[in-house]
Amino acid sequence: MDYEESYPAVCREVGLTCEACISHTAGEIARCSKGLQGKMLGQMFLQLYPNPACSRMHAQFAQAYRDASPRPVRSETTMRRGIGIAAVA
């Protein structure tokens, strides 16, 4: 059997689900490549998962990446500006 043609069967044989693979990889990418969005995130997925059998997991990869990405912390100055603007408006 040609391994290129047997995805995701090969993954299942070793106990790896598509969801677990995508989730873990997206988390690792979020730690080392911060701020990927839109087309860049899609391109990263295609580079990591070139096999057509994996393509159905694109949206899950993007969501897992966003979930694993650190949330920007608003600074105290930014919060004060927001309050000032809200008070004026």
- In the chain, the percentage of residues whose pLDDT exceeds 70 is 74
Higher pLDDT, 58 or 6: 58
**Domain parsing of the chain, residue ranges:** 3-69
Q: How far apart are CA 46 and CA 19, in angstroms?
A: 16
Give the count of beta carbons closer than 10 Å to the beta carbon of residue 22: 23
Mean pLDDT of the chain: 83
pLDDT given at position 20: 94
Residue of 73, 60, 72 lying closest to 27 (CA atoms) = 60
pLDDT per position as a tens digit, 32-71:
988 999 999 999 999 999 999 999 999 999 999 999 998 7
Mutual angle of helices 38-48 and 58-68, in 10-degree steps:
110
Q: How far apart are CA 73 and CA 87, in angstroms?
A: 22
pLDDT given at position 81: 58
Give the count of beta carbons closer than 10 Å to the beta carbon of residue 13: 9
